[in-house]
């Protein structure tokens, strides 16, 4: 079973580096693009990405790793807080 082989019996822990980019869209919205790269092993995993808007809404998107790299994008309306 892949889960046990990676997380229980495997020796190295995953090490992930990432970057993001925010691009303005017509009409006041924006797109968030997130990229991640595993540095040593290729674990299968999901990292939750949360974008908090100024009005308190939270936009969530999963960053799904099935190999050494992954990316996800989300279009958002409203100003971003962080």
The whole-number mean pLDDT for each consecutive block of 10 residues of the chain, a chain of 82 residues, reads: 84 86 81 90 88 85 90 78 54
Helix H, strand E, coil C: the string for the chain is CHHHHHHHCCCCCCCEEEEEEEEECCCCCEEEEEEEEECCCCCCEEEEEEEEECCCCEEEEEEEECCCEEEEEEEECCCECC
Per the confidence metrics, is the pTM higher than 0.85?
Answer: no
């Amino acid at each position: 079973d892949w889960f046990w082989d990676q997380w229980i019996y495997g020796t190295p822990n995953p090490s992930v580096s990432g970057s993001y980019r925010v691009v303005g869209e017509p009409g006041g919205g924006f797109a968030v693009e997130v990229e991640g790269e595993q540095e040593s092993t290729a674990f299968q995993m999901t990292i939750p990405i949360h974008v908090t808007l100024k009005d308190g809404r939270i936009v969530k998107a999963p960053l799904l790793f099935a190999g050494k790299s992954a990316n996800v994008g989300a279009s958002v309306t409203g100003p971003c807080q962080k």
